[in-house]
Structure 1
Amino acid sequence: MPQLNPAPWFAILIFSWLVLLVVIPPKVVAHIFQNEPTLQGAETPKTESWTWPWQ
Protein backbone atom coordinates (compact mmCIF):
# COMPACT_ATOMS: atom_id res chain seq x y z
CA MET A 1 0.00 0.00 0.00
CA PRO A 2 1.84 3.12 -1.19
CA GLN A 3 -0.06 5.54 1.06
CA LEU A 4 1.78 4.10 4.07
CA ASN A 5 5.17 5.05 2.66
CA PRO A 6 5.92 8.54 4.11
CA ALA A 7 8.91 9.30 1.87
CA PRO A 8 7.20 10.99 -1.12
CA TRP A 9 4.63 12.84 0.99
CA PHE A 10 7.24 14.08 3.43
CA ALA A 11 9.32 15.41 0.53
CA ILE A 12 6.25 17.20 -0.87
CA LEU A 13 5.51 18.67 2.55
CA ILE A 14 9.07 19.94 3.00
CA PHE A 15 9.21 21.38 -0.51
CA SER A 16 5.88 23.17 -0.14
CA TRP A 17 6.97 24.72 3.18
CA LEU A 18 10.25 25.72 1.57
CA VAL A 19 8.33 27.53 -1.16
CA LEU A 20 5.96 29.17 1.31
CA LEU A 21 8.67 30.35 3.71
CA VAL A 22 11.52 31.25 1.34
CA VAL A 23 10.09 32.28 -2.01
CA ILE A 24 6.79 34.01 -1.25
CA PRO A 25 7.62 36.37 1.71
CA PRO A 26 10.24 38.42 -0.19
CA LYS A 27 7.73 38.91 -3.00
CA VAL A 28 5.09 40.14 -0.55
CA VAL A 29 7.51 42.40 1.33
CA ALA A 30 8.81 43.94 -1.91
CA HIS A 31 5.31 45.09 -2.87
CA ILE A 32 5.08 48.86 -3.24
CA PHE A 33 1.81 50.76 -3.08
CA GLN A 34 1.15 52.90 -6.13
CA ASN A 35 -0.24 55.80 -4.10
CA GLU A 36 1.34 56.34 -0.71
CA PRO A 37 -1.23 57.48 1.86
CA THR A 38 -0.90 61.04 3.05
CA LEU A 39 -1.22 62.04 6.69
CA GLN A 40 -4.18 64.22 7.53
CA GLY A 41 -4.13 67.04 10.03
CA ALA A 42 -5.27 66.60 13.61
CA GLU A 43 -7.99 69.26 13.33
CA THR A 44 -11.53 68.02 12.86
CA PRO A 45 -13.55 69.31 9.93
CA LYS A 46 -16.23 71.85 10.65
CA THR A 47 -19.69 70.36 10.26
CA GLU A 48 -22.88 72.33 9.73
CA SER A 49 -26.44 71.21 10.22
CA TRP A 50 -28.34 70.22 7.12
CA THR A 51 -31.26 72.43 6.13
CA TRP A 52 -33.93 70.19 4.68
CA PRO A 53 -35.85 72.07 1.97
CA TRP A 54 -39.00 69.91 2.26
CA GLN A 55 -39.67 70.47 5.96
Structure 2
Amino acid sequence: MPQLNPAPWFFILVFSWLVFLTIIPPKILAHTFPNDPTPQNTEKPKTENWIWPWH
Protein backbone atom coordinates (compact mmCIF):
# COMPACT_ATOMS: atom_id res chain seq x y z
CA MET A 1 0.00 0.00 0.00
CA PRO A 2 1.58 3.28 -1.02
CA GLN A 3 2.25 5.93 1.58
CA LEU A 4 0.36 9.18 1.22
CA ASN A 5 1.81 12.59 1.76
CA PRO A 6 0.12 13.68 5.04
CA ALA A 7 0.41 17.42 4.36
CA PRO A 8 -2.69 17.94 2.15
CA TRP A 9 -4.79 15.34 4.01
CA PHE A 10 -4.01 16.84 7.40
CA PHE A 11 -5.00 20.29 6.13
CA ILE A 12 -8.26 18.87 4.78
CA LEU A 13 -8.93 17.16 8.12
CA VAL A 14 -8.25 20.31 10.13
CA PHE A 15 -10.28 22.51 7.78
CA SER A 16 -13.26 20.15 7.81
CA TRP A 17 -13.27 20.04 11.63
CA LEU A 18 -12.97 23.81 11.69
CA VAL A 19 -16.09 23.99 9.54
CA PHE A 20 -17.91 21.44 11.69
CA LEU A 21 -17.08 23.19 14.95
CA THR A 22 -17.53 26.84 13.96
CA ILE A 23 -20.15 27.10 11.23
CA ILE A 24 -22.56 24.23 11.68
CA PRO A 25 -23.34 24.32 15.48
CA PRO A 26 -24.65 27.92 15.51
CA LYS A 27 -26.91 27.09 12.58
CA ILE A 28 -28.29 24.06 14.41
CA LEU A 29 -28.66 25.88 17.73
CA ALA A 30 -30.48 28.78 16.06
CA HIS A 31 -33.22 26.42 14.86
CA THR A 32 -36.53 27.02 16.59
CA PHE A 33 -39.34 24.56 16.81
CA PRO A 34 -42.77 25.81 15.77
CA ASN A 35 -44.60 24.03 18.61
CA ASP A 36 -42.81 24.61 21.90
CA PRO A 37 -44.27 22.31 24.54
CA THR A 38 -46.17 24.00 27.32
CA PRO A 39 -45.89 22.61 30.85
CA GLN A 40 -48.85 20.51 31.82
CA ASN A 41 -50.54 20.33 35.19
CA THR A 42 -48.12 18.63 37.60
CA GLU A 43 -50.76 17.43 40.08
CA LYS A 44 -50.96 13.68 40.38
CA PRO A 45 -54.34 12.15 39.64
CA LYS A 46 -56.11 10.77 42.68
CA THR A 47 -56.02 7.00 42.61
CA GLU A 48 -58.31 4.66 44.49
CA ASN A 49 -57.86 1.05 45.51
CA TRP A 50 -59.62 -1.53 43.43
CA ILE A 51 -62.29 -3.55 45.14
CA TRP A 52 -62.16 -7.09 43.81
CA PRO A 53 -65.44 -8.94 44.30
CA TRP A 54 -63.80 -12.40 44.65
CA HIS A 55 -61.47 -11.47 47.53
Q: Give the TM-score normalised by structure 2.
A: 0.70
Return 5+ residue gaps in structure 1 as ranges. 49-55
- Residue 29 of structure 1 aligns with an amino acid whose one-letter code is L
CA distance in 2, matches of 1:17, 1:38: 37
- Aligned residues: percent identity? 64
When the two chains are superposed, the root-mean-square deviation of aligned CA atoms in Å is 1.8
Corresponding position of 1:19: 19
Give structure 2 stretches of 5+ with no counterpart: 49-55
Distance 1:16 1:42 in 2: 46
What is the alpha-carbon distance in structure 2 between the residues aligned to residue 15 and residue 22 of structure 1? 10
Residue identity opposite 1:42 in structure 2: T
Q: TM-score, normalised by structure 1?
A: 0.70
Larger relative helix fraction? 1
| Paired residues, number | 47
